[in-house]
Amino acid sequence: MEIVKTVIELQSYLKGFREKKNSIGLVPTMGALHRGHLTLVKQAKEHCSVVVASIFVNPTQFNNPNDLQRYPRDLKKDCDLLETEGCDVVFAPDVTEVYPEKDERIFDFGDLENVMEGKYRPGHFNGVAQVVSRLFELVRPDKAFFGLKDFQQLAIVREMVSQLNFSVDIIPCETVRESDGLAMSSRNMLLTNQQRKNAPVIAKTLFESCNFASGKTVKETIDYVVSQVNEVEGLEVEYFDIADGYSLKAIDKWNESEYIVGCIAVFAGEIRLIDNVIYKNTGHEC
Ligand code: PAF
């Protein structure tokens, strides 16, 4: 596996593959890799001839400087994990490689960015769009792989691809969970033992809410999820929205959409965890 830090090295590595028309897969990450990321690499290996994993803690998507500062970083460990998964090249650039000049672009994603993560983390998705579009320009992947845990991010990336006319297939990958249900996240390693013990309540409640929802209103289901999670000491729901899975617009009634998602953000102390559950997908109840 190659580890490259500069755009020049990256592009000279990829040139040969591109000339031979080998398909290139990109797995964008911010490092602190876990099994969820490795599953993305595995899927990329299945779909593409050469797999690039980028490791870059993108400063423009952090609206909270403490969050950026305490974001876990361990390049050596990440590269070892990627190598075992058969990744071909790791692109681990410095900030100046990705942003030789300050990125002043302001994207307009309409209502997609005014809800949920977009509402509580202003500027976050603009930063995500900046970095993902830069990575797409530099790597020019045929396919890029994103986890469904970041449900709204996936919707934003798809919208960005359509607005900027990138010819890249966006491949969504299922959320990977710990054995107790907790969605894998780089932030999980920042939890105290007690917070880690409490955190699976989030996924458990989301899954239970699928049964609870039958015969109940959307509002009752929201209240149920929020109260079940908040009941656990040390957990505090920031938002829980039930929305159309495409537009992310909140729904009032279950028959308003054929694709319905519930998205949650919860604070465990200072650590913010997100997760989601699909209530309905083109007629198939969860
Ligand atoms: O999901 C993430 O880890 C990041 O938002 C991404 C897509 C790598 C962009 O920095």
Same domain, 86 and 217: no
Of 143, 173, 203, the last residue of a domain is: 173
Nearest protein Cα to ligand 1, atom 2: 29
| Total domains present in the chain | 2
37 included as an active-site residue = yes
Given this model, what pLDDT does residue 283 score? Answer: 55
User: Where does the pLDDT of residue 236 fall: very low under 50, low under 70, confident under 90, or very high at 90 and above?
Assistant: very high
pLDDT exceeds cutoff 90 at 141:
yes
Q: H or E element: which one contains 46?
A: helix 35-47
In the DSSP assignment, the letter for residue 31 is S
pLDDT exceeds cutoff 80 at 284:
no
- Given 34, 37, 47, 124, the catalytic residue: 37
Do the domain assignments include residue 143? Answer: yes
pLDDT exceeds cutoff 60 at 221:
yes
pLDDT exceeds cutoff 90 at 63:
no
Q: How many other C-beta atoms lie within 10 A of the C-beta of residue 237?
A: 18
**Sheet (strand 89-91) strand order:** 2-4, 89-91, 50-55, 24-29, 143-147, 169-173
Mutation to probe ligand 1, out of 26, 27, 29, 138 (largest number of atoms < 8 A from CB):
29
Same domain, 169 and 190: no
Given this model, what pLDDT does residue 204 score? Answer: 98
Given this model, what pLDDT does residue 32 score? Answer: 96
CATH of the domain at 223: 3.30.1300.10
